[in-house]
A = this chain, B = another copy of it.
Amino acid sequence: MTVTSTLKDRIENTELLAKVVPVEEAVKHVVHGNTVAISGFTKSGEPKTFLPALAWHFSQTAPDARITLLSGASLSEDVEGPMAPFIAKRGPYMSSPASRRRIHAGEMDFTDVHLSAFARNLMYGFYGDIDVAVVEVSRIRKNGSVVLTSSVGISAEALARAKKIVLEVNTSGPDYTGFHDIVLPAVHPHVGWPLPLVNVRDRIGNPYVELDLSKVVAVVESRTPDHPVPFKAADDTAKRIAEHVIDFLMRCREQYQWGKRLPPIQSGVGNVANAIISQLYDSPFQKIRFWTEVFQDGMLRYVEDDAKFEYASATAVSFSSEGRQRFLDMFERSKDRLVLRPMWLSNSPEIISRLFVIAMNTPIEVDIYGHVNSTHIDGSRIVNGLGGSGDFFRNAYLSIVHTPSTRKLRDGRTVSCVMPYVRHIDHTEHDIKCVVTEQGYALNMDIRSPKRRAQDIIDRCAHPYFRPLLHAYLDMAGPGDEPRATDMKVLQGWWADYDAATRAFPQNG
């Protein structure tokens, strides 16, 4: 095959250069029943050329083909959408409407696993053999080892465990050499070792991934840049939530004698997270560090300010179109201030605990005791998955769950995001130290009964409109340190009252 000079520049290994094929050829290495592990995390670094081509190939030649697809985290809909009909099993995270529909309908098996555990389970062999790894790379080095692109996710594990490897060399993006810190987790019966990482900026692995060249069955070129992820600007509610978060951090700073040193921050995605990152920039904290999953638009201004910012560690960068351009404009500067690691490491309990990370994530809803539903609407239908929220909440120095106190549904109802109980629990009361809404924040850090905590969460975090209903639940729930209503008739009445209230929520509320 004729190889473009752009591509040739990115492939320094002659053996692998000889394996360049059109993507239409490469996709034939994946057949019905295969388990395919791919690069990609929050729509970054996914095999953007291979997967749509594979979907087309199946649709033309094997419409009944079904595979198991394992990724780091979410893929863009341009990539996952066409593949969805051919995915029988999927893990550990997705945000694809096409996959979601099939998962809810029972046509696709989805397993929701802590991201750090997923990568290790994959290495342990719990998900069986990996037939094919498809990994986007920036560059193939002289000895055949590869430099990844805008995410790491499970790429290193996929390359280590797969029987066949397809490399997708992305020539549209920059060469990410120098951004990565790659280490594989130990596997029993090998001895596990302490991770020699004590600062966010420490690097403990290689900037490339080594692989067995004989396993590479195809190399393809991709000229598609990462699909942009729209930046969600903060609304008033998000801004008020962010103010409460900063208040809480300032209070902790005093109480626990942090001095100027804010512990490293993990922050999720969405408009509340963006508001927090924005207000944190204007806070008195200096030399801020991020130990997080995804480096996003809101963090770019930090890179420009050496007084405000020290270092960031993530498993992916994920930008809007504008953010991406800004990132490319200061690509070299970023390389000295940002490191991308495998997700088992970015989400490692060992490191999150050691670095005293402050974790912040948005749930679907919380309950009055501090239990958190991050994944399932009405308990039954998954949205995206829990991702790394459990890795961070559980092991954080401080764990903050932040949500608007209410959410307006498409059917016109306005529901409370603080409920008497939630129908799916991903994070228990034992893992949450602070609940924040635009109304205020309530703590779970003291020696205090769950019942007292509940009164506090209702009075400080719930929307005033819903507070009487929540107190009514607590009153009828009976005795105990953590009262839970069990009389089904009474409960039925409560839900009827609640449902009526969601319909009568004042429009200016």
Which residues of A (391-433) have their CB < 8 Å from a CB of B? Answer: 394-395, 397, 421, 423-431
Nearest CB in chain B to that of A494: its residue: B488
Q: Which residues of B contact A448 (CB under 8 A)?
A: 89, 109, 111
Q: Which of A225-233, A258-266, A326-334, A461-469 contacts B (4 or more CB under 8 A)?
A: A258-266
- Which residue in B380, B447, B481 is a CB contact (below 8 Å) of A106? B481
Is A124 located at the chain interface by the 8 A CB criterion? yes
- Which residue in B188, B378, B478 is a CB contact (below 8 Å) of A258? B188
Q: Which residues of B contact A112 (CB under 8 A)?
A: 429-430, 450
Q: Which of A14-22, A132-140, A243-251, A351-359 contacts B (4 or more CB under 8 A)?
A: A351-359
Is A307 located at the chain interface by the 8 A CB criterion? no
> How far, in angstroms, from A106 to B382 measured CA to CA in the complex?
37
- Which residue in B114, B381, B426 is a CB contact (below 8 Å) of A480? B381
Shortest 3 CB-CB contacts between residues of A and residues of B: A380-B480, A379-B484, A194-B194
Q: Which of A148-156, A195-203, A269-277 contacts B (4 or more CB under 8 A)?
A: A195-203
Which residues of A (103-124) have their CB < 8 Å from a CB of B? Answer: 103-106, 108-114, 117, 120-121, 124
**Are B104 and A479 interface neighbours, CB within 8 A?**
yes
**Are A447 and B349 interface neighbours, CB within 8 A?**
no
**Are B430 and A428 interface neighbours, CB within 8 A?**
no
Is A255 located at the chain interface by the 8 A CB criterion? yes
Q: Which residues of B contact A117 (CB under 8 A)?
A: 430
Is A8 located at the chain interface by the 8 A CB criterion? no
> How far, in angstroms, from A445 to B121 measured CA to CA in the complex?
8
Nearest CB in chain B to that of A429: its residue: B112
Q: Which residues of B contact A90 (CB under 8 A)?
A: 447
**Count class of interface residues, chain A:** 35 or more
> How far, in angstroms, from A199 to B192 measured CA to CA in the complex?
9
> How far, in angstroms, from A390 to B425 measured CA to CA in the complex?
14
Given contacts A194-B354, A480-B104, contact A113 B430 (CB under 8 A): yes
A341 CB to closest chain B CB (Å) equals: 16
Give 10 pairs: A residue, B residue, CB < 8 Å, sorted on A. Answer: A106-B481, A108-B449, A117-B430, A188-B258, A188-B261, A192-B354, A350-B353, A390-B430, A426-B430, A427-B428
- Which residue in B355, B423, B446, B488 is a CB contact (below 8 Å) of A192? B355
Which residues of A (67-112) have their CB < 8 Å from a CB of B? Answer: 68, 70, 89-91, 103-106, 108-112
A448 CB to closest chain B CB (Å) equals: 5
Given contacts A256-B188, A447-B91, contact A380 B124 (CB under 8 A): no
**Are B486 and A380 interface neighbours, CB within 8 A?**
yes
Is A280 located at the chain interface by the 8 A CB criterion? no
Is A142 located at the chain interface by the 8 A CB criterion? no
- Which residue in B124, B395, B452, B495 is a CB contact (below 8 Å) of A256? B124
List residues of chain A with CB under 8 Å of any chain B CB. 68, 70, 89-91, 103-106, 108-114, 117, 120-121, 124-128, 186, 188-189, 191-199, 255-259, 261, 263, 349-350, 353-356, 371, 376, 378-382, 386, 390, 394-395, 397, 421, 423-431, 445-452, 477-484, 486, 488-489, 491-492, 495-496
**Are B356 and A350 interface neighbours, CB within 8 A?**
no
**Are A356 and B192 interface neighbours, CB within 8 A?**
yes
**Are A198 and B193 interface neighbours, CB within 8 A?**
yes
Q: Which residues of B contact A68 (CB under 8 A)?
A: 447
**Are B256 and A379 interface neighbours, CB within 8 A?**
no
**Are A423 and B484 interface neighbours, CB within 8 A?**
yes
Q: Which residues of B contact A386 (CB under 8 A)?
A: 430
> How far, in angstroms, from A259 to B382 measured CA to CA in the complex?
39
**Are A447 and B109 interface neighbours, CB within 8 A?**
yes
Q: Which residues of B contact A186 (CB under 8 A)?
A: 354
A123 CB to closest chain B CB (Å) equals: 11
A215 CB to closest chain B CB (Å) equals: 20
**Are A349 and B395 interface neighbours, CB within 8 A?**
yes
Q: Which residues of B contact A483 (CB under 8 A)?
A: 380
**Are B484 and A126 interface neighbours, CB within 8 A?**
no
A497 CB to closest chain B CB (Å) equals: 11
> How far, in angstroms, from A415 to B130 measured CA to CA in the complex?
42
**Are A486 and B349 interface neighbours, CB within 8 A?**
no
Q: Which residues of B contact A492 (CB under 8 A)?
A: 488-489, 492
Q: Which residues of B contact A355 (CB under 8 A)?
A: 192
Nearest CB in chain B to that of A91: its residue: B447
A492 CB to closest chain B CB (Å) equals: 4
Given contacts A104-B481, A110-B481, contact A397 B188 (CB under 8 A): yes
> How far, in angstroms, from A256 to B126 measured CA to CA in the complex?
8
> How far, in angstroms, from A177 to B90 measured CA to CA in the complex?
53
Q: Which residues of B contact A477 (CB under 8 A)?
A: 380
Q: Which residues of B contact A479 (CB under 8 A)?
A: 104-106, 380-381
**Are B481 and A126 interface neighbours, CB within 8 A?**
no
> How far, in angstroms, from A197 to B194 measured CA to CA in the complex?
7
